[in-house]
Amino acid sequence: MGKKGQIIKIAKGTMSDIAQNDINYYAKNINTYAGISINETGKQGVFFGTPEPAPPIENLQQDTAQDTADNTPSASDQATTPQNESGTTSTTSVDDEKPKKCIIEFSVKNKVINDGTFGFDTIPSNYNTICESNIQDLENEYNPFEVESEQYFPPWVSIRVGQTIILQLNKTFNKKDEYQSVAFEEHNDFSYRYMKGSTEVTDMIEAKEVHITCSANNESPDGTLIKVKADGADAGGINIWYPTPKTIDLQWHFVEITGNDKDRSALEDKLKIRHLLSLLEKGLKPSLIDINVTNNVATIVDITAENERLKRERVIKKSDNHHYIEREMKQDFVATIRQNHNAPNNIVTLYLVNRSCLITGAMGEEGGRYQVVAGFSPTGTGIAYGILDGEQKLRHTAIMHEVMHALGLRHTFSRQAVHTFADKKTKNYMDYHETKKYTWKWQWAKLHTYQHLQ
């Protein structure tokens, strides 16, 4: 009983009234409020009618006095229904009866992924259904461990010396106020700042995000696992990959097939140097690879003298109002470029072609149905071919896809890849999904093995 005439019950979780027989409420008005719904059920139905009259108030006072004398709560009862200083009776919440619990998970803002600010790789939520290779091998990539009796997969992040990355904290607490410290383990290569808005706080209990700064490289391909400790118990963690960044030069070229600079003019409208620099940075910065574009203006590889031969040999065909490369003859087209241009073997060479590559359909050749081929860059050769899509566009993410082929990456759905996924089920750069945004840690490591990186 609190202020005269009030009974207040407060619970963070679920509150239950349990009686062996009846529970009766008598009041001038009884008000019930619910944020979502009120549910009433009864084995024999829910009945509404004229309520029974309440006992006379003097009887209630006598009954209350007798109850107080006869039913003084035991020590355990007092712990369950304590009174505060004002005398208000409060009910213990179900959360208070649960053991202490702390789980810290990490995420990043969409801009980090879209801009390639740093690498962030978390195991796909649906990996059990889209992974077509050994699932346990995939799980082991993330160095899982137990947190609160459940398997926990720490994400991978990549970071450079001197760089500060920001991770968002997603926290699950029970009895939060009982924790003294929730923080990363100390590590000589990293410093941490726990932030709540613009205010630095002592640890993760009140923080909304953590700022991590790297002070040294680690050349181990296994990276480093750093755990979060909540009063000494495992509560989360991250894997950090931070070898010395590598570099390589890139030259880009427009392939002139039609003549009279028609292809050059069309390609210049589709891709500017600023676009090229941006897409290379977004795609490869998470892998700790920097590409130096050596020519600000694309040079021309002129094969106009071969155009009629390529048409005659059905390497280049016509559909509606544009020409395309027949997929079955793509090696002949590649050979023609190689005969007319000698690509250095210690750099990345990017050829941009103002043609799409199609598979002619069963209805015939000219005017028939066609299947668009996304590209044909040979894996690990340092040579990439950027071609048009089915809408005659030069998609920037598709160019990055081809450059990654040149540096040694295979498709996500390839049986020769480190792990194999169903096609078009991820937003990885090496998938065929229209949206390409990220790479995985084992792809970062694979890219770093390309022999001509410096």
Domains and CATH numbers, the chain: 1-97 (no CATH), 101-241 (no CATH), 246-447 (3.40.390)
Contacts 24+ apart (CB under 8 A), 332-335: 334/376, 334/378, 334/385
Give me 352's structure tokens. 């941009």
> What pLDDT does residue 341 have?
95
Q: DSSP assignment, residue 104?
A: E
Is the Cα torsion angle 376, 379, 381, 383 positive or negative in sign?
Answer: positive
> What pLDDT does residue 389 have?
84
Q: Which residues on neighbouring strands pair with residue 172, listed in sequence order? A: 103
What is the pTM for the complete model shown? Answer: 0.76
Give me 69's structure tokens. 């004398």
> What pLDDT does residue 318 have?
86
Mean pLDDT per 10-residue section of the chain, whose length is 454 residues: 53 58 64 58 54 56 45 44 44 63 97 94 95 96 96 98 98 94 97 97 97 94 94 97 97 96 95 94 96 96 96 88 86 94 94 89 43 82 91 88 96 93 92 87 96 94
Helices (H) and strands (E) in the chain, counts: 12, 20
**3-state helix, strand and coil shares in percent for the chain, rounded to the nearest 5:** 25, 25, 50
Q: Which residues on neighbouring strands pair with residue 170, listed in sequence order? A: 105
Contact 333, 316 (CB under 8 A): yes
> What pLDDT does residue 434 have?
74
Give me 29's structure tokens. 């008005």
> What pLDDT does residue 352 have?
96
> What pLDDT does residue 17 have?
65
> What pLDDT does residue 80 have?
42
Cα 138 from chain centroid?
Answer: 16
> What pLDDT does residue 391 have?
79
In Å, how far are 31, 103, 163, 220, 285 from 448, measured between CA atoms?
A: 67, 33, 19, 12, 12
